[in-house]
Amino acid sequence: MATASALHILVKTEKEALSILAQLKRGGDFAKLAKKHSLCPSGKKGGDLGEFRRGQMVKPFDDVVFKKELLKIHGPVKTRFGYHLIKPLYRS
């Protein structure tokens, strides 16, 4: 079974996600921004979701983590939870 690990920041609006993405592109610290802005409980851990299997996350999230470039920030990705900025760390 394929597994992966990722960091993410979850916010309510696309505008907020784009604002955080701009800060990240200027060298902002992902973990600090996750702690400050993320609505997900993982925000307390700097957005770290730990390891998970394919299919455990909603499909748009899974698609990014299992198909897009690693160690690059992707998004905003819209799901029923809000807008995510996703940084896939590894997959196996």
Domain ranges of the chain: 3-91
Q: Which CATH number applies to 3-91: 3.40.50.720, 3.40.50.620, 3.40.50.300, 3.10.50.40? A: 3.10.50.40
Q: Give the confidence band of 79 by pLDDT, cuts at 50, 70, 90.
A: very high
Mean local confidence (pLDDT), 10-37 = 98
35-62 per-position pLDDT tens digit: 999 999 999 999 999 999 999 999 999 9
Number of Cβ atoms within 10 Å of the Cβ of 25: 9
Predicted pLDDT at 59: 97
pTM for the whole thing? Answer: 0.96
Predicted pLDDT at 1: 80
Mean pLDDT computed over every residue of the chain: 97
